[in-house]
Every structure is written in C-alpha cells, then in structure tokens.
Amino acid sequence: MDFLYSYIALAEIYVLLGLSTNLLVGIAGIFTVSQAAVFGVGAYIVAYCLMHDVMGFVPALLVAAAICVVLNVLVTLPSLRVSGDYFVVTSFGIQLLATAVFVNWTAGTGGANGLPGIPSPDVFGYQLESSHQLVLLTTVGSALGCLAFWLIMRAPFGRLLRAIREDELAVAAAGKGVLRAKVSAAALAGAFAGSAGGIYATFLSFVDPSSFDLDASILLLTMVVVGGARTLAGSVIGPFLLLALPQVLSLIDIPTSIAASARQLIYGVLLIAFMLFRPQGLAGEKL
C-alpha cells in the first residue's frame, strides 16, 4: 500500500513538472533541458528553509516558487532576444552549471551526498507525517497546478501562446508582444517547477543532485513527448506512464548494474519513435 501511495505522490509531483515543461516546450515552443535544474533549486530552497527553521513549509514553498520564477525569466530572457538555437545552448549550459553547483557547493547542498533528514511539511498548523497525508498534499498541489494550466489554456493568454508557437512574425504584425508572452510562459513554468521541487524535498525527506541532473531533464521532456504537447491530459498521462516504467523493468530480469542505463535508453528510444511516428504524443496536439 505504501508503495502505491509513493508511486501516486511521485507521479503527481511529476505532473507539476510535466505541466511546467509543457508550458515551455509544447506551448511556447521553446526547447528546454534545464527544467530539472529549476526543480532542484526549488527543492534545495525548501529543504534549507525547513532544516534551518527559517520559515514554515507554505511560505518556503512560495519563496522557492518566486525564486524559480526569477531564475527562469533570467535564463530565458537573453536567448529569446537572439535566436531559438541559442536557447538550446543556454538550456544545456544552465543544466550543467546547476549540476555543478548542486554537486560542488557542499555547504549549501550537501554535495554529492545530498541533504538527508528534511522535516515533514506543516500546512497551516497541521504536521503532515503519514504517507496518505503526504499524498493528500501532492494531490492538492497537482490539482491546483492542473487548474492553473486549464485556466491559462482557455484564457486569451493561452490562445496568444498557441499563435506565437505557430508564427511569431504574424503575432507581432497583429500588434501583440511576443517577447512578453514568452517570458510570462517561462515565469509560470518556473513557478510550477519550483513548487514541485519544494513538495518533492519534503515528500522524500532527502534530496541529492542525481534527481536534478540532465537525465532528469530528459525524462521530463520524454514525459511531455509521450503524453502529448499542449494538453492537460498529456501532461498527466506522461508522468504516470513513465514512472511506472522502472517497475515494469524490475519485472524483467535486467542486471542492476545496467538498469539505470536501460531506463535512459528506453527514454531515448521513446523520444525518437514519438518524434518520427506520433509527434502529438498519446493525448496531445502536434509538436
């Protein structure tokens, strides 16, 4: 039972991350492999705040989300001004740089060993300890995320983002600001990823750099690609499906030494196969 709970909770956290990645990749059409880094920043901030009793869980989560908004905007802004391909470089660069910080800044992040013993979250005076209380937290978190995504997609802002993905020049000719909308999308994506990070840290009570590396970013991209771009359904299906994959793999007799590579290998194959044969994913729109 606990196993099922933790699968659901983890999948729900990844739904938030899937929404974040979908906002950038699916909707704004920005390629990113650095959302795991932003996720990590959110996680470390909340972990630090709770471990050093700086503030409670809810304010810490808000601070993490706010910092990740600023971070994502700073990261996207210079590249949006120049050209799409430069953002590929920025995105890889941010991810590698973040990993370097997570691994090497031992004083702040615990280095490669990570930070163990993160306290359980408190929400308005209630301490959430048991696994089903934590599932409640992740469910509320992901439900709020889904609601926000839904509201945005049906609002004029969502329409503007779709138009931008198709033809930026035509949007400019219609008198609308392309840069501003893209930066807004990046900011939202930052808020989603940062909150996901904060919830993740308290849920696992342990964070280390391996959860926030390039492979994690590729996993996020795979989730959006498999689930489907630009839809709520796609952002939910992707995480639930791909997080079940390790369990399926454990049923097959694969030596543990290559289990991690086998998993990443499958993500790679999925990326290629979906791009070739089903760019709209299982429940999305064409990328």
Which of these segments, 10-18, 44-52, 73-81, 133-141, binds another protein (CB under 8 A)? 73-81
Kindly tell me the sign of the dihedral angle through the C-alpha atoms of 259, 97, 83, 30: positive
70 vs 57: CA distance, rounded Å: 20
**What DSSP string runs through 91-127?**
HHHHHHHHHHHHHH-HHHH-GGG-EE-PPPPEETTEE
Sequence-distant (≥ 6) Cβ neighbours of residue 63 within 8 angstroms? 45, 49, 55
Which one among 54, 140, 174, 244 touches another protein, defined by CB under 8 A?
A: 174
Q: Structure tokens of 91?
A: 């995105």
142 vs 78: CA distance, rounded Å: 30
6 vs 19: CA distance, rounded Å: 20
Which one among 4, 132, 143, 268 touches another protein, defined by CB under 8 A?
A: 268
287 vs 270: CA distance, rounded Å: 15
Question: Which amino acid appears at position 38 of this protein?
Answer: V
Which one among 2, 124, 125, 175 touches another protein, defined by CB under 8 A?
A: 175
Q: Does 61 bind another protein (CB under 8 A)?
A: no
The distance of closest approach from Cβ of residue 172 to another protein in the complex, given in angstroms and rounded to an integer, is 4
Which one among 89, 112, 143, 244 touches another protein, defined by CB under 8 A?
A: 89
Contact positions with another protein (CB under 8 A) in 148-167: 148, 151-152, 155-160, 162-163, 166-167
The distance of closest approach from Cβ of residue 279 to another protein in the complex, given in angstroms and rounded to an integer, is 5
Whether 235 contacts 19, CB under 8 Å: yes
Which of these segments, 52-60, 181-189, 198-206, 231-239, binds another protein (CB under 8 A)? 181-189
Binding mask 91-130 for another protein (x = CB under 8 A): -xxx-xx--x--xx--------------------------
Q: Does 54 bind another protein (CB under 8 A)?
A: no
Q: Does 70 bind another protein (CB under 8 A)?
A: no
Q: Structure tokens of 94?
A: 């941010």
Which one among 225, 226, 237, 243 touches another protein, defined by CB under 8 A?
A: 225
Nearer to another protein, 72 or 202 (CB): 72
Q: Does 221 bind another protein (CB under 8 A)?
A: yes
The distance of closest approach from Cβ of residue 225 to another protein in the complex, given in angstroms and rounded to an integer, is 6
Q: Does 256 bind another protein (CB under 8 A)?
A: no
Closest to 45 (Cα-Cα) out of 235, 198, 186: 198
Nearer to another protein, 4 or 144 (CB): 144
In the chain, which ranges are E strands? 115-116, 122-123, 126-127, 206-207
